[in-house]
């Protein structure tokens, strides 16, 4: 049975999938909005929202956890300095996914994920 198996695999092994999510999260933290496929945006949303919730607390343990999940200290610093302070009073729902149509080459559904 596949109960509780909710993560998308994207045709990648675990290490590559983890690096892929880290890369998407760093790009979103750096630019505030990225355009990607709808499936990737939906997979990125819970990943980044948990990190923003940790960034709101501002503790050393949260900083270490966030830098470990982001794969670099630079990405964690972006979350703590800019984004964590911005959403200090917000209870959740830090990102928005807007569907933008289809990719011309293969018809994949495109979406923009951005911070609210």
Question: Tens digit of pLDDT for each residue in 21-80?
Answer: 999 999 999 999 999 999 999 999 999 999 999 999 989 999 999 999 999 888 899 999
Q: Token match 């670099």: residue? A: 72
Q: Is residue 46 part of a domain?
A: yes
In a domain, 78, yes or no: yes
Closest to 116 (Cα-Cα) out of 91, 86, 95, 87 = 95
- CATH code: domain of residue 43: 3.90.1030.10
- β partners of residue 112: 35, 98
Total number of domains constituting the chain: 1
Model pTM? Answer: 0.90
Each residue's pLDDT tens digit, 103-112: 999 999 999 9
Q: Whole-angstrom Cα distance, residue 55 to residue 85?
A: 8
Measured CA to CA, the distance from residue 84 to residue 70 in angstroms comes to: 15
Domain that holds residue 110: 14-115
26 lies in some domain: yes
Whether residue 116 contacts residue 96, with contact meaning beta carbons closer than 8 Å, is answered with yes
6 lies in a domain? no
Round the CA-based radius of gyration of the chain to a whole number and report it: 15
């Amino acid at each position: 049975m596949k109960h509780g198996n909710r993560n998308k695999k994207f045709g990648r092994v675990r290490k590559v999938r983890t690096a892929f999510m880290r890369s998407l999260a760093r790009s979103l933290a750096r630019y505030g909005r990225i355009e990607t496929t709808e499936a990737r945006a939906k997979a990125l949303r819970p990943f980044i929202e948990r990190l923003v919730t940790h960034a709101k607390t501002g503790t050393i343990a949260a900083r270490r956890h966030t830098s470990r999940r982001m794969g670099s200290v630079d990405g964690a610093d972006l979350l703590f300095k800019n984004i964590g302070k911005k959403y200090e009073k917000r209870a959740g729902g830090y990102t928005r996914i807007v569907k933008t149509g289809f990719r011309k080459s293969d018809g994949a559904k495109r979406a923009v994920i951005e911070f609210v």
